[in-house]
Chains A and B, each alone.
Chain A
Amino acid sequence: MTALAVETTGLSRRYGRRWALSDVSLGVAAGSVVMLAGRNGSGKSTLLRVLATALRPDHGNARVAGHDVRLERDLVRRKVALLGHHSFHYEALTARENLGVAASFLGRSNDESLLARVGLEARADDPVASFSAGMRKRLALARVLLQDAEVVLLDEPYGELDPPGFALLDRVISELRSRGATVIMATHLVERGRALCDRALMLEEGRLAWSGPAALMPAEAPGGSFVP
């Protein structure tokens, strides 16, 4: 049996009176590329944030890259990279400087080739405040690549990107797969997900509604609710 890069047991997280994640138990094999599907508000972002240790579980637990998210948070963080809804940037700094700040905390030197890789070399010295949403996404992607993580969590990465950006992301995911990283990607683009991913997980109202091979993922969650 292959090692599990991610395993959760009864994972639950609430916001006030509402359970965003409700008793989610799943496993993701190391080196696989997994699609995380579900409607808006089904808990995809929350799940990714809990796995990245940005949020703590209220009940249950999770192990990511071999470490417990509650007890070994820093060890998990060293091996996980999150591309989230917030780009983690400093608006007043340039793209190059933002990457440099991240690099300084990672204990590495700045890898400027990453800016070229994501197509930002022309705007590397412009403040991020002047960037469009798509460019910010590219910079966030560069930051994720800089982290060189074992487990990469992508939260709706295709949003805001233009067609060249889509191609870039497809390439990045293939490269991550070929170097053995585990990728979990939350996305609404079902067809793309089926093409790129090995397996799929579907969340519905905070619960795991379906899991299986990506090619077989249903368009609707079992029970008849609509998934676009």
Chain B
Amino acid sequence: MNPFVAALRKDLLLQWRTRSQLVAVFVFGASALLLFSFAIGPNAAALRQFAGGFLWLALLLASTLALADSFESEMAQHALEGLLLLPADPRALYYGKAVANLLQLSLLGAALVPVMVVLYDAGTARVPALLGIIVLGAAGLSAPGTLYAAMTAQLRARNTLLPLLLFPLVVPALLGAVKATSLLILGDPMGQLGAWTMLLVAFDAIYWSLCGLVFERVVED
């Protein structure tokens, strides 16, 4: 079996087995959206204007939980080391985990959209485009997030270090995703959606290649 496929199957199986954790992360994200709305107050116009931003903030915060979880199972009994010793190609292990995390974060993002629609009155007719942006944004979080989760899972202060390292890094993806989402919700008279989408694609292309290259240095002795 192709090692990437073996890794992806393993990670999807693990995610399925621990799906109750994903539900908890979703609840966390939904609560965050609720709390953010309190920061604005019952101002319908303002809520609608900032909905895109808050959706992605909620997803970003939730992603630190989901990404950290994805390496809990690898470190508990040194399962990742066990695979590397078989031998298994570290790049396949990275991409398997990163793709599985991408799917999970996309699912999370898509699930948070109805929450946003309800709380912020922020819907869009362009649903496929919104889902596309969610996938691209989730990809931007997943690539460096999987790498840093692998790194910080081996350290004591893992819960603080992962967001500390990840947040500044994903600023371009966050800006792109927030702008694109806001344009879909509020309208895009000047046709800027394409430019922001391209930014997301560029960020994803760069980080999906770079992180795969360096993963081995992060998990091997």
| A and B touching (Cβ–Cβ under 8 A) | yes
Query: What string of 1s and 0s marks CB contacts (under 8 Å) between B177-198 and chain A?
Result: 0000000000000000000000
A91 to B75, alpha carbons, bound, how many Å? Answer: 10
With A104-B10, A107-B1 already in contact, the answer to whether A90 and B77 are too (CB < 8 A) is: yes
Which residues of the partner chain A approach B77 to less than 8 Å between Cβ atoms?
86-91
Query: Which residues of A79-101 have CB atoms within 8 Å of chain B's CB atoms?
Result: 80, 82, 84, 86-93, 97, 101
Any chain B CB within 8 A of the CB of A189? no
Q: How many residues of B contact A (CB 8 A)?
A: 24
- Smallest CB-CB A-B distances: 6 pairs: A88-B82, A86-B78, A77-B87, A104-B6, A92-B17, A105-B88
For residue A51, give the distance in angstroms from its CB to the closest CB of chain B: 11
Q: Min CB distance, A134 to chain B, in Å?
A: 15
Q: Provide the residues of chain A in CB contact with B3, threshold 8 Å.
A: 105
CB distance from A225 to the nearest CB of B (A): 29
Q: Within the complex, which residue of A55, A74, A97, A104 is in contact with B221, where a contact is CB–CB below 8 Å?
A: A55
Please tell me if B154 contacts chain A, counting CB pairs below 8 Å. no
- For B1-44 the 0/1 string (1 means CB < 8 A from A) is 10100110110011001100000000000000000000000000
The reply to whether B87 and A74 form a contact with Cβ atoms under 8 Å apart is: yes
- 14 A-B contact pairs sorted by A residue (CB < 8 Å): A54-B81, A73-B87, A77-B87, A84-B78, A86-B77, A88-B78, A88-B79, A88-B82, A89-B77, A90-B14, A91-B77, A92-B14, A105-B7, A105-B88
Tell me which residues from 12 to 46 in chain A have a Cβ below 8 Å from any Cβ of chain B.
Answer: none
Given contacts A88-B77, A90-B73, A104-B1, contact A77 B85 (CB under 8 A): yes
Which residues of A lie under 8 Å from residue B10 when comparing CB positions?
90, 101, 104
B125 at the interface (CB under 8 A from A): no
Known: A53-B85, A107-B1. A93 touches B78 (CB 8 A): no
- Output the least CB separation between B9 and chain A (Å): 7
Does B83 sit at the interface, judged by CB under 8 A? yes
A197 at the interface (CB under 8 A from B): no
Q: Are B86 and A147 in contact (CB under 8 A)?
A: yes
Is B6 touching A101 in the complex (CB atoms < 8 A)? yes
In-complex Cβ contact of B86 among A73, A77, A89 (8 A): A77
Q: Are B79 and A89 neighbours in the complex by a CB distance under 8 Å?
A: yes
B155 contacts partner chain A, Cβ-Cβ < 8 Å = no
A105–B3 Cα distance when bound, in Å, is 6
B9–A91 touching, CB < 8 Å: no
Number of interface residues of A (CB under 8 A): 30
Q: In the assembly, what is the distance between CA of A74 and CA of B84, in Å?
A: 9
Q: Give the B-binding residues of A (Cβ under 8 A).
A: 52-56, 73-74, 77-78, 80, 82, 84, 86-93, 97, 101-102, 104-107, 127, 143, 147
Tell me whether A93 and B81 are in contact in the complex, defined as CB-CB below 8 angstroms, given that A101-B10, A104-B1 are known contacts.
no
Please name all residues of chain A whose beta carbon is closer than 8 Å to the beta carbon of B221 when the two chains form the complex: 54-56
Contact check, A54 vs B87: say whether CB atoms are below 8 A apart.
no
Chain A proximity of B208: nearest CB distance (Å): 22
CA distance A6 to B75 in the complex (A): 29
User: Looking across the interface, which residue of chain B has its beta carbon closest to that of A108?
Assistant: B1
**A interface footprint on B45-83 (CB within 8 Å = 1, 0 otherwise):** 000000000000000000000000000010011110111
How far apart are A175's CB and chain B's nearest CB, in angstroms? 21
Query: A54-B221, A104-B10 known; A86 and B86 CB under 8 Å?
Result: no
Q: Which of B126-172 contact A (CB under 8 A)?
A: none
* Contact across chains for B9 and A104 when beta carbons are under 8 A apart: yes
Q: Add 14 more A-B contacts to A86-B82, A90-B73, A93-B14 (CB < 8 A).
A: A54-B85, A77-B86, A78-B87, A82-B85, A86-B77, A86-B78, A89-B77, A97-B13, A101-B6, A101-B10, A101-B13, A101-B83, A104-B1, A105-B1
